[in-house]
Chain A
Amino acid sequence: MAAGHVWTDKRIENILGNLLRAGVVFSAVIVFCGAVVYLARHGRAHADYRVFQGEPSELRSVPGIVRDAVDVSGRGIIQLGLLFLIATPVARVIFSIWGFAAEHDRMYVVFTVIVLAILIFSLVGSSQM
Chain B
Amino acid sequence: MNILEFTALVFVGSLVAGLLGSLTGLGGGVVLVPLLTLFFKVDIRYAIGASLVSVIATSSGAAAAYVKEGFSNIRIGMLLEIATTLGALSGAFLAVWVSTKAIAIIFGVVLLISAFLSRKPRSPAERNAPPDPLATRLRLNGSFPDLEGRRSYNVQRVPAGFGIMFGAGALSGLLGIGSGALKVLAMDQAMRIPFKVSTTTSNFMIGVTAAASAGVYLHRGYIDPGLSMPVMLGVLGGSLVGAGILVKAETKWLRLVFSAVIVLLGIEMFYKGISGGI
Contacts and interface: CB of A to CB of B under 8 A. Distances in A.
Interface of A: 9-10, 12-14, 16-18, 20-21, 23-24, 27-28, 31-32, 34-35, 38-39, 42-47, 49-56, 59-61, 74-76, 78-79, 82-83, 85-90, 92-93, 96, 100, 105, 107-108, 111-112, 114-115, 118-119, 121-124, 126-127, 129
Given A43-B4, A96-B74, 4 more contacts: A24-B236, A82-B228, A82-B232, A122-B85
Interface in B112-160: 138-139
B34 interface: no
A37 B2 CA distance: 16
Given A14-B67, A47-B6, A28 B60 contact: no
Contact of B211 (A27, A54, A122): A122
Interface in B200-241: 207-208, 210-216, 218-230, 232-233, 236
A108 B74 CA distance: 10
A45 B211 contact: no
Nearest to A68: B225
Nearest to B210: A89
Contact of A122 (B42, B74, B139, B212): B212
B57 A49 contact: no
Give the one of A21, A55, A92, A93 with max B CB within 10 A: A55
Interface of B: 1-7, 40-43, 45-46, 53, 56-57, 59-61, 63-68, 70, 72, 74-75, 78-79, 81-82, 85-86, 88-89, 92-93, 138-139, 207-208, 210-216, 218-230, 232-233, 236
A44 B3 contact: yes
Given A21-B64, A79-B223, A89 B208 contact: yes
Q: Secondary structure of the A side of the interface? A: helix
B2 A47 contact: yes
B207 A61 contact: no
A34 B229 contact: yes
24 contacts: A28-B57, A28-B233, A34-B229, A43-B7, A46-B1, A49-B43, A55-B222, A59-B223, A60-B221, A74-B225, A79-B225, A82-B53, A83-B218, A86-B56, A86-B211, A89-B207, A89-B210, A92-B207, A105-B139, A107-B138, A112-B78, A118-B85, A122-B88, A124-B215
A118 B208 CA distance: 10
A78 B223 CA distance: 11
A14 to B, nearest CB: 6
A47 B1 contact: yes
Nearest to B2: A44
A31 B229 contact: yes
B52 to A, nearest CB: 9
Given A47-B5, A108-B78, A78 B207 contact: no
A17 B67 CA distance: 6
A85 B56 contact: yes
